[in-house]
Amino acid sequence: MKQFLKPGYTLWTMNSACLWLRLGLGVAMIPHGYEKLMHFNEQQADFLNLFGLGSTISLALAIGAEFFCSMLLMLGLLTRLILIPLIITALVIVFMAHGGDIVGDGSAGFLLLVGYITSLLLGAGDYSLDAYIFKP
């Protein structure tokens, strides 16, 4: 019990935490991207027009981040690079779609944003394709 309460971490716990964080964030976001992908034609006219790019391009970018980048995040492939569009997507969810409401409707987006930034700082960990491809 004393070991459990002791501050600090081992390499195994850090790498396991990175894996669980990546998997949890991916599982949380993929259904949103999949739903947009399956209903692309119905949603493209009404989707948020991000930075004047048009609703169709904005929807395609959201699908790319929410679905495809989330899959890569779960695999731990190009983790820090693919977190950039995911962070941008979470920022749009919180501040544009929900007006900065981090305790109400935008709370899920805010939690994703916190997780994405944490994962960006930590990296993929040893239990990832990044570790396998880029091992020293």
Residue-wise pLDDT for 66-107, tens only, equals: 999 999 999 999 999 999 999 999 999 999 888 888 988 889
pLDDT value of position 127: 97
- The model's pLDDT over 102-126, given as tens digits with 9 standing for 90+, comes to 988 889 999 999 999 999 999 999 9
pTM as predicted: 0.91
Other Cβ atoms less than 10 A from the Cβ of 89: the count is: 25
Distance CA 65, CA 1 (A): 41
Lowest-confidence range among 14-18, 31-35, 41-45, 63-67? 41-45
State the amino acid at position 87 in one-letter form. I
- Backbone φ and ψ for 128, nearest 5 degrees, come out as -155, 165
User: In this predicted structure, what is the pLDDT of residue 86?
Assistant: 98
- Please state, rounded to an integer, the average pLDDT across all residues of the chain: 93
Q: Is the pLDDT of residue 51 over 90?
A: no
Residue 49 pLDDT class (50, 70, 90 cuts): confident
DSSP state of 52: G
